[in-house]
Amino acid sequence: MNEMIDTVKLVVKLDNPIPSNAKFPRLRSISPNYRGLFSVVSNPSAASKKLGKYEPRLKYTQRPRKGGFGCEYELEIELSLPKLVFNGSNLDELTDSHFPEILQRLKEEIRERNIWLFTRQIQEAEVRSIHYSKNIVYQDYTSCSSILNILAAADISHVYDLQKTDFRNGRVFHVHTNSLDIAIYDKIADLQRAKISDKRAEEKDNYSQLKLLETLPKQDPLSVLRFEVRLNGKDKIRRSLSCVESSYDLVFEQLYSEELAKKVLIAYWAEFFGKIRKIDLDQNTPIDLLENILREPTLTGPQQGLARLGMVIVSAESDSRHLRNLLEDRFGKNTWNRIKKLAETPHKSRYKSLIELEKQLKDFQPIRKEMFNL
């Protein structure tokens, strides 16, 4: 069974305040006798970031109890589950069998901040945010930009109550609605932006996986499209569960569910796919032809790709005998035999790339870096 969950925000209700030596920078400035409202945060340390060690983000809140008798205490834990398990990488994906390891590792991480929790407290923690996600891996020179461009052209305004859509740099397609966030982006390009500045990236806390870039060759058939459905807030989670006809309590051990993750991702992909004008894909426009040409594994460089494009267009619009005569008059009578393969129409691949995306969602097989020698 496969678990495609990335970021979660969990809330653990505490019976007592956290100890005064808990590793929250502002905690010691607050009197232990103070009974008012306050929050303190504990983010990954500069030393951990430098070492590439992934750490969860913690937020502790104390608030007066309704009725005025004592206080309520809660610990909010925000983290990427695969980064916790796979040494900072979320290119690798989780399975059901990782759940006990997640509980143990998370308990140990929190203990390092001098807070002690029982396993059951984490299992039963309230989920306030959860991001279901899947890495779609292509190994045939498919460009993520090509797929994102297709999605950006789809008319989804009748499906979602849109607040905003972003299509940044041709590398990220982000849909904001009243009920959810959907982000589809080029995983490798996002890491490259994060290397310049984490603020430029779609994903947070990339410091722990930048070393992946060192293992990628400059020209490689591998590309990774990341698909995330981000349910931020209990209302959004409930609404999405109802859309896939699923009933779960909003607790960690129930929402960590392969069945649910798959249902949510497939349901939202289907709504995108239904609004794509398939008839417009793989037309013989210059840019469509170029996209198909660039997926050919025998291509040696950009000049050959553009030469192929030029020959395909000219051949389609000209008399072949006249074209042959022009080239042989200029470059010799054997010229046509040497270059006629350039005029062959490339295989159509844009629709095929969408079908491959859908297939990987339905197969729902977990990705491992080792599959691609990373």
Q: Are 295 and 142 in contact (CB under 8 A)?
A: yes
Query: What pLDDT was estimated at residue 356?
Result: 95
Query: What pLDDT was estimated at residue 32?
Result: 80
Residue 187 tokens, joined? 């995983």
Strand order in the sheet with 162-168: 38-42, 57-64, 71-80, 5-14, 126-139, 222-232, 181-186, 172-177, 162-168
> Using CA atoms, how far apart are residues 47 and 14, in angstroms rounded to an integer?
29
* Cβ neighbours around 334 below 10 Å, total: 9
Q: What is the largest CA-CA distance in the chain?
A: 98
> Using CA atoms, how far apart are residues 315 and 116, in angstroms rounded to an integer?
72
Q: Are 292 and 346 in contact (CB under 8 A)?
A: yes
> Using CA atoms, how far apart are residues 185 and 147, in angstroms rounded to an integer?
10
> Using CA atoms, how far apart are residues 77 and 92, in angstroms rounded to an integer?
21
What residue type is 334 in one-letter code? Answer: N
Task: Name the least confident of 23-27, 75-79, 203-207.
Answer: 203-207
Handedness of CA 333, 334, 338, 343 (dihedral sign): positive
- Strands 57-64 and 38-42 come out as antiparallel
Tell me the per-residue pLDDT of 279-295, one tens digit each, with 9 for 90 and over: 888 888 999 999 999 99
The DSSP letter of residue 251 is B
Closest by alpha carbon to 160, among 184, 178, 185, 183?
Answer: 178
Query: What pLDDT was estimated at residue 333?
Result: 87
Query: What pLDDT was estimated at residue 1?
Result: 44
In the chain, domain spans: 2-276+357-372, 286-343
pLDDT-derived band at 272 (thresholds 50, 70, 90) equals: confident
Average pLDDT of the residues of the chain = 88
Closest by alpha carbon to 360, among 186, 182, 136?
Answer: 136
- Strands 172-177 and 5-14 come out as unpaired
What distances in angstroms separate CA 369 from CA 43, 98, 204, 211, 374, one per listed residue? 27, 17, 20, 12, 5
Q: Are 166 and 185 in contact (CB under 8 A)?
A: no
Residue 126 tokens, joined? 């309230």
pLDDT-derived band at 193 (thresholds 50, 70, 90) equals: confident
Q: Are 179 and 240 in contact (CB under 8 A)?
A: yes
pLDDT-derived band at 317 (thresholds 50, 70, 90) equals: very high
What are the backbone angles phi and psi of residue 168, rounded to the nearest 5°?
Answer: -95, 125
Across the range 177-187, mean pLDDT stands at 83
Q: Are 183 and 225 in contact (CB under 8 A)?
A: no
Which residue has tokens 């070393």?
Answer: 211
Residue count of the chain: 374
Q: Which residues pair with 227 in a beta bridge?
A: 134, 184
Across the range 65-76, mean pLDDT stands at 88
Query: What pLDDT was estimated at residue 166?
Result: 61
Across the range 137-154, mean pLDDT stands at 89
163 SS3 class: strand
Query: What pLDDT was estimated at residue 163?
Result: 45
- Crossing angle for the helix pair 320-331 and 302-317, to the nearest 10 degrees: 130
Tell me if the pTM is above 0.85.
yes
What are the backbone angles phi and psi of residue 197, rounded to the nearest 5°?
Answer: -165, 130
Across the range 354-372, mean pLDDT stands at 89
